[in-house]
Structure 1
Amino acid sequence: MCELPPISKRTLSSAFDKALKTCPDNIAHVAGGDAWTFAQSYEHAMRIAGGLHQLGAQRQQTIALMLDNSMDAMHVWTGITLGGAIEVPINTAHKGHFLSHVLNDAQTSIAIVEDTYAERVERVAEELTNLRTLVVRGDISAADRLRERFRVIGLDEVVSADPLESRPNRHDDLIAYMYTSGTTGMSKGVEISHVHAYTYSSREDGPRGPSPSDRVLVTLPMFHLAGQWVGCYQSLIHQNTCVIEPGFSASKFWSVVRENKITYTTLLGAMAEILQQQPPQADDADNPLKYATMHPLASDVLGFAERFGIEIGTGYGMSEIGGVMTGSWESLQPGEAGRARDGYQLRVVDPAGADVQPDEVGELWVKPDDPLMVMNGYHNLPDKTADTIVDGWVHTGDAFKTDDDGHFYFVDRMKDALRRRGENISSFEVEKVINEYPQVYESAVVAVPSDLTEDDIKAVIVTREGQSIDPVELIEFLVDRMPYFMVPRYLQFASSLPRTPTQKVQKHLLRDADANQDVWDREAAGITITREGRRA
């Protein structure tokens, strides 16, 4: 274990400089059958930076990207960053007002998208207030109908530009707006500095970070912090080979691990649960994987480790604070989220802000040694920022408890956000779309326990007087208007919603209600929602 570099050196350009000096010809990235060295990846990223500069991109200008996992996605986000701009990764499931909100709020004039997502941009084109240039990866003709409104060019044209002249990133510059779902409004853009991103991504001060000899597997989406930073950026910092897969597949996971000689990876808790539920095989432990970080830990983490012959670590973080906890295999406790990471003070407090005792539940507060190690704030939301960062302490809104040995245990969310398949979901946003259905009077969305460690979504719906709702027709309506992971699994119909005297919906009563009372389960009805749409 070594110390993190000084604050001034925690930048993407510094990480590349280090790799280019020590191992330029080592394989940095593998994707789609292609392998790129550190030197080749850097040169390609700088060409993208040059091409974007020719399109008018300036330092600290936002550039949106809506890309699937690929080598191009890796080079695009590093090119944006090395050029001094601010990346705005967009969840590739976004559509409708979810998509237009991010593009408008970030005030981005340039967006880089897969050809398969051009149609989504077309559907919201009239709502977009700042977008001027659309860069298409793949078949540029997919955006032909957008040419009258935007300048449309192919990513190949951007890549063909001369490389931008190398210049160091400023550590206090913004590297990204990461949009995270709120609970009482639209998604918020978390303003993240180079220092914040580097500190989040590095495990130089941790108990078990990947070494240069490791081969790291990334199956999480690169628009997500866990894919882009805990996966790809961490691999650059630690100078190992990063193998980028299109996504996670339980049926293919171990064959991918074996074929690519993977030794290190990150698993969301739901992914681990799915792997754990697969039928045991005689060769389960016959694989090259040595270490996996798991967030949160699987329900039978010790059994998982023994079955597959690996060591496991854990941690806790969020866009606003970075990674503030780590847990190592040597001292891992079932269910823990880790111990405090160097550079962060952690407190678990009661509603009055007083520290609670071990085993008592309270809200987690975080204070970094340097303010740049956490978010600058929420973009265009000064009041929300002031509510969240108070006297240097970031109020996470998450409930935790500790033990006498300094282990932290995540208990629940103190807000109404949900988390499903690794995605943060705003109940407000889901309710907004449900309420657009003509027969819906009002709705409330809550989390209910899932057998995959995170949340399933239940929508409690009040039908307009004299109307009726076909659950299947409502699901079809929602599938066309929201990301697949936001579509509720459960629909519960009620005559009214429980409210406080001030008319606030008492969601805790809806969570605690009998799950079998007047509840329709779309999965029990044989309806599965995937990225591609409904599958019956």
Structure 2
Amino acid sequence: MDIMGHITLRSLLEERTQMYPEKTFLLFENASGEQEELSYMDFQKRVTKLENVFLDLGIQKGDHITLHLPNSIDFMVAWFAIGGIGAIMVPTNILSTSDEMEYILSHSESVLLMTEMEYIQKFEAVRKKLPLLQNILLTRFEGNHEHALNATALMEQASEKMEREIEIFSGDIAGMLYTSGTTSKPKGVQVTHANYIYAGEMIAQSISLRPEDRQFVVLPLFHGNAQYYSTMSALIVGASVALTEKFSASRYFKQAKRLGATVGSLFAAPIRMILAQQYDLEDQKNSLRLIMFAQSVAEHQLDEFEQKFDIQLLQMYGMTETIGVPLINPVHGIRKNMSIGKPSIGYEVKIVDENGVDLPEGTVGQIAVRGVPGRTLMKGYFKNEEATKEALQNNWLLTGDNARIAQDGYFYFIDRMKDMIKRSGENVAANEVESVLVEHSDVYEVAVIGVPDDIRDEAIKAFVILNEGAQVSEQMLIEFCKLKLAKFKVPDEIEFVTAFPRTPVGKIQKHILRQSIRTS
């Protein structure tokens, strides 16, 4: 039997509630700064009430329930209540349009939607096109609505004791997270109960999480990072979660201190946003001991962040499909945060060529991760057998990301395979060019793409956001690149911009930049 055994989300929560009934599990701060605190027992009672609401509405095991909610207690309760009755949570981005939500609701075959009054209009416009959608539940809502039910009122009337036992197995699907589509529609990544348990165990062991710790969740809960790495690791060890409705760069460390958080998780963009704020020496006296992060950050920015805030940063690498993080810097070993770390607990990682052949140290190729589908890797893509077979081959997940392995065993991220630029017969990694440009003292952030070129296949174009007050010119930055890059890697054009199109977790949406080139 593996480490997950027969554990499910429901059995894990019940066990932790039995162990720590009065201990704080969730401390939530909404957008107005108001706080609400729930013990393990309080949280379990709310979960059971919502489970009974779902059952009364006719929800069956295996049904999909879409959550279109901001970070909130309601989201957390719904997640575990859905899993508790054997249904499947489909968390979605609150910034999604009506058309995007129509696709997800239709493709997932969701029978129930939970959302807030602020977003109801986008669903009213498409509801007639969704014959499987039976009900809409409104959270943080008072009164009556013509086309939706009041979740709070229904929960007040529901029993705190489970009215009907449903047999659930660790291999059952508990969640379905849609990956953002660029050239195709988003794919539904199927996540089992065992997947969630494994992610929590893996992270908890990798960062030496303790029951006294409190995970600081500022990234959106619909994303794998907040679910897998922060919430599940806290639940695994009986720790607690400090949750904010929104991320605030200026208040990040003040909120962490106020909420008693000890471990955080960020992406590159939020780190740069925090550094761009007016520095407050008091922020160095924060309560955080460690921040996990992903995506490329310049070395001088990492040094500045650790120095200013007296914090240990730990770069890692993972995807929605990998469940846990296959690569992470060691918390007790030598941290090389310009790398994405070494293989972590339960994973085998290698670099392969386009034919799946292993590549030697120092050679750039695709990251391949070995695991067990439905346990340490995703179960597969929903209603997309072809994409599943393409991604999962003999228990190896082909990530679509390029990296190399150094002699010391650390992996170094190069770029997404789709972000490799073909220039005059040479392969240029956009990330390599970005890393050089961001070394310039006047540069805040960079995105590099390939643009069609009749002679060289592709030309290299860089979009650059400058630091406030900077006066550097395009030619000055090109000359800077010439000092550090081979001639064929130097950008042909640099365009100064004030902002980038981003995903909710701060990733730059390069496909939108490419579209702007084609349509201009």
1:11-39 per-residue CA deviation (whole Å, 9 max, x = no partner) reads 21232133123211100001131111111
Q: Which of 14, 27, 31 is matched with 1:30 structurally?
A: 27
Is residue 413 from structure 1 mapped to residue 409 from structure 2 by the alignment? no
**Contact preservation (8 Å) 2:463, 2:497:** no
Unaligned runs of at least 5 residues, structure 2: 30-34, 421-429, 465-473, 475-491, 505-520
3-state secondary structure, aligned to 1:415: helix
**Contact preservation (8 Å) 1:46, 1:83:** no
Is residue 309 from structure 1 mapped to residue 310 from structure 2 by the alignment? yes
- Is 393-402 or 511-520 further displaced after alignment? 511-520
Is residue 286 from structure 1 mapped to residue 288 from structure 2 by the alignment? no
Aligned to 2:149: 153
- Is 280-289 or 351-360 further displaced after alignment? 280-289
3-state secondary structure, aligned to 1:159: helix
Report the alpha carbon displacement of residue 186 of structure 1 after superposing the two structures with TM: 0.4
| 1:514–1:187 distance in 2 versus 1, CA, 3 Å | closer
Superposed counterparts of 1:128-143, under 5 Å: 128-139=130-141
TM, length-normalised to structure 1: 0.76
**Contact preservation (8 Å) 1:88, 1:178:** yes
3-state secondary structure, aligned to 1:177: strand
Unaligned runs of at least 5 residues, structure 1: 418-445, 461-496, 501-505, 532-536
Report the alpha carbon displacement of residue 282 of structure 1 after superposing the two structures with TM: 3.0
Aligned to 1:87: 89
Report the alpha carbon displacement of residue 272 of structure 1 after superposing the two structures with TM: 1.2
**Contact preservation (8 Å) 1:188, 1:379:** yes
| 1:142–1:408 distance in 2 versus 1, CA, 3 Å | farther
Report the alpha carbon displacement of residue 455 of structure 1 after superposing the two structures with TM: 7.0
Superposed counterparts of 1:33-112, under 5 Å: 33-112=35-114
Aligned to 1:349: 352
Report the alpha carbon displacement of residue 512 of structure 1 after superposing the two structures with TM: 4.1
Q: Which of 458, 466, 478 is matched with 1:509 structurally?
A: 458
**Contact preservation (8 Å) 2:323, 2:376:** yes
One-letter identity of the residue aligned with 1:187: P
Whole-angstrom distance in 2 between the partners of 1:202 and 1:499 = 52
1:185-214 per-residue CA deviation (whole Å, 9 max, x = no partner) reads 100001111111221233466332421111
**Contact preservation (8 Å) 1:119, 1:143:** no
Q: Which of 12, 18, 41 is matched with 1:15 structurally?
A: 12
**Contact preservation (8 Å) 1:522, 1:528:** no
| 1:510–1:379 distance in 2 versus 1, CA, 3 Å | farther
Is residue 252 from structure 1 mapped to residue 235 from structure 2 by the alignment? no
Q: Which of 339, 343, 354 is matched with 1:336 structurally?
A: 339
Report the alpha carbon displacement of residue 40 of structure 1 after superposing the two structures with TM: 1.1
Superposed counterparts of 1:133-532, under 5 Å: 133-139=135-141, 144=146, 147=147, 152-160=148-156, 161-162=158-159, 163-164=161-162, 165=164, 169-203=168-202, 206-296=205-295, 298-299=297-298, 300-323=301-324, 324-329=326-331, 330-369=333-372, 372-415=375-418, 456=447, 509=458, 511-512=460-461, 523=498
3-state secondary structure, aligned to 2:206: coil
| 1:338–1:126 distance in 2 versus 1, CA, 3 Å | same
Q: Provide the aligned length of Structure 1 versus Structure 2.
A: 450
Report the alpha carbon displacement of residue 313 of structure 1 after superposing the two structures with TM: 1.8
**Contact preservation (8 Å) 1:115, 1:143:** no
**Contact preservation (8 Å) 2:143, 2:150:** no
Report the alpha carbon displacement of residue 528 of structure 1 after superposing the two structures with TM: 9.5
Report the alpha carbon displacement of residue 128 of structure 1 after superposing the two structures with TM: 2.4
Report the alpha carbon displacement of residue 217 of structure 1 after superposing the two structures with TM: 1.2
Whole-angstrom distance in 1 between the partners of 2:252 and 2:7 = 33
3-state secondary structure, aligned to 2:198: helix
3-state secondary structure, aligned to 2:281: coil
| 1:387–1:203 distance in 2 versus 1, CA, 3 Å | closer
Report the alpha carbon displacement of residue 166 of structure 1 after superposing the two structures with TM: 5.4
RMSD of aligned residue pairs (Cα, Å) = 3.2
**Contact preservation (8 Å) 2:461, 2:493:** no
- Is 316-325 or 200-209 further displaced after alignment? 200-209
Whole-angstrom distance in 2 between the partners of 1:529 and 1:514 = 14
Aligned to 2:129: 127
| 1:45–1:203 distance in 2 versus 1, CA, 3 Å | same
| 1:272–1:404 distance in 2 versus 1, CA, 3 Å | same
| 1:509–1:519 distance in 2 versus 1, CA, 3 Å | same
3-state secondary structure, aligned to 2:305: helix
TM, length-normalised to structure 2: 0.79
Report the alpha carbon displacement of residue 76 of structure 1 after superposing the two structures with TM: 1.0
Whole-angstrom distance in 2 between the partners of 1:91 and 1:273 = 23
Whole-angstrom distance in 2 between the partners of 1:456 and 1:53 = 48
One-letter identity of the residue aligned with 1:192: V
Q: Using the aligned pairs only, state the percent identity.
A: 23
| 1:453–1:269 distance in 2 versus 1, CA, 3 Å | farther
3-state secondary structure, aligned to 1:285: helix
One-letter identity of the residue aligned with 1:263: T
| 1:457–1:35 distance in 2 versus 1, CA, 3 Å | farther
Report the alpha carbon displacement of residue 120 of structure 1 after superposing the two structures with TM: 1.0
**Contact preservation (8 Å) 2:460, 2:493:** no
